[in-house]
Structure 1
Amino acid sequence: MERRAYYRNRVLPWLLVAPQLLLVLVFFYWPTSQALYWAFTLEQPWGGGNEWVGFDNFSAVFSDSRYWATVVRSAVYGVSATAISMVIALTLALFVDRGLRGTKLFQSVFIWPYALAAPVVGVAFRFILSPEAGMVGAVNLVWPGIWDPATNGTHALIMVIICHAWLSIGYNFVFFLAGLQMIPRSISEAGAMDGARPARRMLDLQLPLIAPTTFFLLIMNIISTFTDSFALIDTMTEGGPIGSTEVMVYKIYENGFKGLDYSGAAAQSIVLMLIVIALTFVQFKWVERRIHYA
């Protein structure tokens, strides 16, 4: 029988939730309402007032070829970083789940990257993948110019993708390992008794059973690449060279804080927010209802 707690003092529950409600109001709803207002008005760079322009800001954004290039780049960035991170995290989780020697140590070590701040990781990878130092520098001495993220846009984008994927491995590893450990051992043992090798048991038994976890991580990782990539790009490439690593969230910063186009940046932020809301809707309304354990 379900038990519920009742407060005789009707003011006390509101006092308990007031700090959280205040944080949500100040840091989410108020900025969102301001962005909506600016997206439909023409905001002067130095606070000279607003002029209602309707959907003109969105029309300007959608007619900008550079913006669509940023959208495509964000999609490539999101899919690539998500795929690399999830594949590596799943592989590590499968080895740890098998209970091999040293897995207890690895289980804690693999989580460490997620505890690091993105700017710190970005600075570290900028030195690790520098074309003048370390192993990459030695390779460049043999084949000059084979790796140069400072001038080659493709190399710069690959560098940021690798860094973001590495940063997300710990997060994905925790969920994959939890999903694998929720599978009854009797299922794997039955497969082994039928003669299935570890790879076959993984493909036919384990992966189908952790499908909900996989789809959850897929959505969450893609959302992360759209919203949490600013710190990495700002510390590693600043959107360069020549805008080759400029994704949607960084273009909002460029247009709003450097170009002083507050209205255009607000319109872009609304578009990005709608994309995140759509992905969240897919996660909660489609994935959780249609993906079931076998």
Structure 2
Amino acid sequence: MDKRAVFRSWWIPTAFALPQLALIALFFYWPAVAVVRWAFTLEPPFGGSAEFVGLANFRDVFADPLYWNSVVVSLTFALAGTLSTIFIGLVLALAVDRQLPGSGAVRFLYILPYAIAGPAAGMAFRFILSPERGLMASVNSIFPDFWNPAKYGSHALILVIVVFAWKWAGYTFIFLLAGLQSVPKSLTEAAAMDGSGPIRRAIDIQIPMLAPTLFFLSVTMMTEGFVGADTYGIVARTTDGGPNHGTEVMVYRIVEEAFRGLNYSGASAQSIVLIGLIMIFTFIQFRFVERRVHYK
């Protein structure tokens, strides 16, 4: 039996924990308190005393039709991004689950895009899928305007979802492959002897046993789609929120309001609403989706 470490004086563990506690207070709790305070005040952009305005910032936010457009765009982006990344990661994990020659190198290539920064991936796909000189240029030469993210908001939204899925599919692949390796091989081998093909074995045996992993990834990817740093970086470097606010997700709008528009109070109010929206979706996932998850 391992012995527990016992400190004879209280100041030694406190001294060890104090730097970490200071970092948490400085970079997590203090900004959170400041955002809540700014949401209910009119914060001058260049310093000075703030004026308490109550719910006026929230009323201005809810009265702006462009804000509701960003809510719809964020919901579409988060849902589509979550489903696509999990589906791609699941297909890749099922494809390399077997121990075959060269499977290690293939797994490394699948994980590699996750190491690339979101803004860099956005810039790369901006040129790769450019309607004038990219891969879609030959398609546009036959069908004009078949693909033009600089002109159509729906095309631009598809573009940022594709970049997000390409970037984060490797992340979901890691967890799903680890989950598949924990599935007893005797079950899949018995199903194969009964005549079940790979797709049937995946649907009837492997995917149901991945329910905890799929639930974890759905919560994680939904949160990343709403407030992730890569979400802002991809949108900022790929479409800059356009065209016509077609890809202006909530996190991008908040950053632009705060640092370009210098509207700290409005951005803080939008941050509070975004946090509330994430809490609602997380509650729905834990309240209704987790009921279908079996951990044994």
Partner of residue 192, structure 2: 192
Which of 242, 245, 252 is residue 243 of structure 1 equivalent to? 245
The answer to whether the Cα contact below 8 Å between 1:84 and 1:165 also exists between their aligned partners in 2 is yes
Instruction: Determine helix, strand or coil for the equivalent of 1:110.
Output: helix
Deviation at 1:289, TM superposition (A): 7.2
**% identical equivalent positions:** 49
Partner of residue 78, structure 1: 78
Structure 1 residues 28 and 16: CA distance shift in structure 2, 3 A: same
TM-score (norm 1): 0.93
Amino acid at match of 1:250: Y
Deviation at 1:174, TM superposition (A): 0.1
1:15 pairs with 2:15: yes
Superimposed CA distance per residue, residues 78-107 of structure 1 (whole angstroms, 9 cap, x where no aligned partner): 111111111111001001113344322111
TM-score (norm 2): 0.93
1:28-107 equivalence runs, <5 A: 28-107=28-107
Partner of residue 260, structure 1: 262
- Give me the whole-angstrom Cα distance separating, in 1, the residues matched to 2:3 and 2:289: 30
The answer to whether the Cα contact below 8 Å between 1:82 and 1:218 also exists between their aligned partners in 2 is yes
- Give me the whole-angstrom Cα distance separating, in 2, the residues matched to 1:222 and 1:212: 16
Structure 1 residues 135 and 289: CA distance shift in structure 2, 3 A: closer
Moved more, 88-97 or 249-258: 249-258
Deviation at 1:32, TM superposition (A): 0.8
RMSD: 2.0
Structure 1 residues 290 and 208: CA distance shift in structure 2, 3 A: closer
Partner of residue 232, structure 2: 230
1:144 pairs with 2:144: yes
1:167 pairs with 2:163: no
Partner of residue 213, structure 1: 213
Superimposed CA distance per residue, residues 251-279 of structure 1 (whole angstroms, 9 cap, x where no aligned partner): 11122222222111100011112333445
- Give me the whole-angstrom Cα distance separating, in 2, the residues matched to 1:147 and 1:270: 36
- Give me the whole-angstrom Cα distance separating, in 1, the residues matched to 2:282 and 2:2: 30
Deviation at 1:290, TM superposition (A): 6.1
Partner of residue 272, structure 2: 270
- Give me the whole-angstrom Cα distance separating, in 2, the residues matched to 1:18 and 1:160: 41
Superimposed CA distance per residue, residues 130-160 of structure 1 (whole angstroms, 9 cap, x where no aligned partner): 1111321111122221111112111111111
1:127 pairs with 2:101: no
Instruction: Determine helix, strand or coil for the equivalent of 2:42.
Output: strand
